[in-house]
Amino acid sequence: LWQNVPLAPPDSIFKLTAAYKADTFDKKVNLGVGAYRDDNDKPWILPVVRKAEEIILNTPALDHEYLPITGLPEFTIAAAKLILGPDSSAIAEGRVTTVQTISGTGANHLGALFLSRFYQWSGDKKEVYLSDPTWANHPAIFNNVGIASLYYPYYDPKTIGLNFDGFVSSLKSAPSGSVFLIHACAHNPTGVDPTRDQWDAIAKIMLDKGHYGFFDCAYQGFASGDLDNDAWAVRFFVDKGVNMLICQSFAKNAGLYGERVGALHVVSPNKEAAERVKSQLSVLQRSEISNPPSYGARIRDISTMAGRIIDMRKELFKILTEELHTPGNWDHIVNQIGMFSFTGITPEQSKALTEKAHIYLTVNGRISMTGLNRNNIRYFATSLDAAVRG
Ligand code: PMP
């Protein structure tokens, strides 16, 4: 048996890692694998992930039951908001179907499988346009579901930049309704992204030609250090009404490589279509993996909350100390951990905040950090400053 099975070559990246591990040279350096290492070349667990893990360990209600087929709802909602924006009208209109997947690879697979089954292909050819070059796994993933790969020019070795003209002419010459795989940000392997003007031009042609955008977002936060900034192109295309889906990975930006945390978001023209899409994605997911893994999704979900709270603490501290020079010491704002903060203000000051500024907090001066957000933090800080000064 298996006489007909040819020996396949090992995966090039993982082969590189194995060779690195086997090497005994003391100055060896591994620049192959795309996983973050600290200054001592050790894998790094984000402090916020550590904290989330502690919370999970200490919460008996977090058992090992199956998740719903489409994933942990708190996670899928948070994941959609992270990529599409907290105020996304597509989400508000119920046009986004999100399914939790086996990291970015699983999202690419499920997205490709869904298109293979349900996309309105013209003729009987199923083809996807990939950037030249692209992540080595892309052609294999599409090939597995019967979609052939074509390539659009992307990288220009002469400028070590984007071959924008080549990209545009491919978009223009491809048959209407073609599927284009687009790296949402921090293009792998070139690190070259279009500018906003170029994205604008790309979106216009995609709309004109009725092309479908298969966005792969494996590095949100890595291009500019800012999650919203790195989601700009995706949000722009959604706002313009380009038909599209988004594959999202939390391997890199949450350092959860091995936990396989990801999501597929399909943006539909209306809520009713989104519901039908969801029903079919559930059917596909059921036969493929039944239920996505819970541990990583919970970590990611709790980390999101904890991360936002940590950001709010830093921001509040900065406004009070650097901008307003509010009397007193505010170190405790950043040193305390968790959801609540004891501001250290007197009951009178606390009452004044409620009566004069309509800010509601317990008289002992305790505030819930989760009530603060980017829109109200400045108002709170200036009101607190006024209350403290009397
Ligand atoms: N897409 C691209 C472009 C990638 O570079 C990667 C990771 N190398 C992925 C998707 C998926 O990775 P993962 O399955 O680990 O989330």
Q: Is the pLDDT of residue 58 over 90?
A: no
Instruction: Say what the pTM is.
Output: 0.86
Ligand 1 in contact with 34 (CB < 6 A)? yes
Centre of ligand 1 to C-alpha 20, Å, is: 21
Task: Kindly indicate the confidence band of residue 275, based on its pLDDT and cuts at 50, 70 and 90.
Answer: very high
For the domain made up of 73-292, the CATH class stated in words is alpha beta
Ligand 1 in contact with 249 (CB < 6 A)? yes
Terminal C-alpha separation, the chain: 86
The answer to whether the CB of 250 falls within 8 A of the CB of 103 is yes
- Domain at 311-389: CATH code: 3.90.1150.10
Instruction: Tell me the ipTM for this assembly.
Output: 0.99
Beta-strand runs (E) in the chain: 96-102, 127-132, 148-153, 155-156, 161-162, 179-183, 212-217, 244-249, 261-267, 340-342, 366-368
Of residues 207, 212, 184, 248, the one with CA closest to residue 119: 212
Nearest CA to ligand 1 atom 13: 104
Amino acid residing at 385: D
Of residues 258, 215, 220, 121, the one with CA closest to residue 176: 121
Q: How many CB atoms lie within 10 A of CB 19?
A: 12
Q: What is the pLDDT of residues 64-98, one digit of tens each?
A: 999 999 999 999 999 999 999 999 999 999 999 99
- The residue whose CB lies within 8 Å of the most ligand 1 atoms, and thus the one to mutate among 105, 110, 192, is 105
The answer to whether the CB of 94 falls within 8 A of the CB of 271 is yes
Centre of ligand 1 to C-alpha 32, Å, is: 14
State the Cα–Cα distance between residues 23 and 43, nearest whole angstrom. Answer: 18
Ligand 1 in contact with 262 (CB < 6 A)? yes
Options 199, 252, 301, 330, the catalytic residue: 252
Given this model, what pLDDT does residue 28 score? 87
- The residue whose CB lies within 8 Å of the most ligand 1 atoms, and thus the one to mutate among 16, 108, 188, is 188
Residue 252 falls in the annotated catalytic set: yes
Where along the chain do its domains lie? 73-292, 311-389
| Ligand 1 atom at minimum distance from 106 CA | 14
Given this model, what pLDDT does residue 29 score? 85
